[in-house]
Structure 1
Amino acid sequence: MKMVLMISADLENITELEPRKGTDDPNFAYYFKMKCGACGELSQKETCLILSETTPMPNSRGTANLVQKCKFCDREGTVTMEPGHGRPLLLNVSMKANYAPLMKFDCRGLEPVEFSFGRGWKARSTAGTIFKDIDLSGGEYAEYCEKGNLPVMISNLRSKFVGTK
């Protein structure tokens, strides 16, 4: 099953929000819980996936960004990230309460759920100032743009996973 991580937020005087090196940032850390596709067990701890980190898949010549066994039923699953499908969350998308795709995942035996916004985000103000290394783990971000003489804020963070082809 292929899943796309979709994000949205309320942006105040921010024109775009994305990982600090773009949507295909090889070192951006994605944190979420995993659900076993066989028994439905939800992992207790968050799992971290990073595009630049891969591991060999069992009984295969390929690699995946995650190979994990379910602690309940002992079935193994994999998740492989597919770059090139994401784009920044833009102000006009945010104003309509719509979502922007961030990353696509090829999931086999596992399903990502409950994405956690964390560190490593970048935002551009309406005045053109770029704010780097934003930490959204607290649920919001507020700063002052001196160039535009205006406050900037990112709040009401939302995410969802959508099945795709």
Structure 2
Amino acid sequence: MVNYMLMISAELENLTNLQPQGGCDDPNFSYLFKVKCGRCGELSQRETCVVLNDTVPLPVGKGSTHLIQKCKFCGREGTVTMVVGRGKPLTHETSESGKYSPLMLFDCRGYEPVDFVFTGGWKVESLEGTKFEDVDLSSGEFAEYDEKGECPVMISNVRATFDVVK
């Protein structure tokens, strides 16, 4: 078992607190990424979708997981389980420093997550307090105007990485 922390970063102009619509532990947010088989190294052809609300029972023993998938190349089965309570929104300060913010922890057995895909369903707020909801980051950027703060707001250069966590 290896734990992978999804870390996100972006350039936030006049914005802060970038996170999924329902917060970092949003039960309905779809995490899309490819998985790499731990045995043969085969990379999945399509993105895998994992949602906190969608669980399946483990084939052996008690408990549940969020994904059970078989490698199409070697046939090995692996699981991905989401671990809540470790994510934080990407703040303006973290963005300014060029650092990454932890979003979600994945307990992976037999697979390694790679290539996170940004989609819709994000929220962010301006430094003046205006909230922007259901932000779509699939194009890699977001631009709007904050009427209250009388300034342009923008998200650009979105990036993600998976870090191994002990």
TM-score, normalisation: structure 1: 0.99
Match of 2:84 in 1: 83
Q: Deviations over 1:97-118 (max 9, x none)?
A: 0000000000000110000010
Match of 2:26 in 1: 25
Q: Tell me, yes or no, if structure 1 residue 121 matches structure 2 residue 122.
A: yes
Q: Helix, strand or coil for the counterpart of 1:89? A: coil
Shift of 1:142: 0.3
AA aligned opposite 1:35:
K
AA aligned opposite 2:58:
M
Q: Which runs of 4+ in 1 moved over 4 A?
A: none
Q: Helix, strand or coil for the counterpart of 1:9? A: strand
Structure 1 stretch displaced more, 152-161 or 58-67: 58-67
Shift of 1:25: 0.4
C-alpha root-mean-square deviation of aligned residues, in Å? 0.6
Match of 1:64 in 2: 65
How far apart are the structure 2 equivalents of 1:111 and 1:70? 12
Match of 1:144 in 2: 145
How far apart are the structure 1 equivalents of 2:6 and 2:16? 20
Q: Helix, strand or coil for the counterpart of 1:92? A: helix
Match of 2:113 in 1: 112
How far apart are the structure 2 equivalents of 1:25 and 1:10? 23
Q: State the identity %.
A: 59
How far apart are the structure 1 equivalents of 2:16 and 2:7? 17
How far apart are the structure 2 equivalents of 1:25 and 1:7? 16
TM-score, normalisation: structure 2: 0.98
Where does the alignment leave 5 or more consecutive residues of structure 1 unmatched?
none
Shift of 1:75: 0.3
Match of 1:40 in 2: 41
Match of 2:11 in 1: 10
Shift of 1:60: 2.2
Q: Deviations over 1:47-100 (max 9, x none)?
A: 000001101111221211000000000000000000000000000000010000
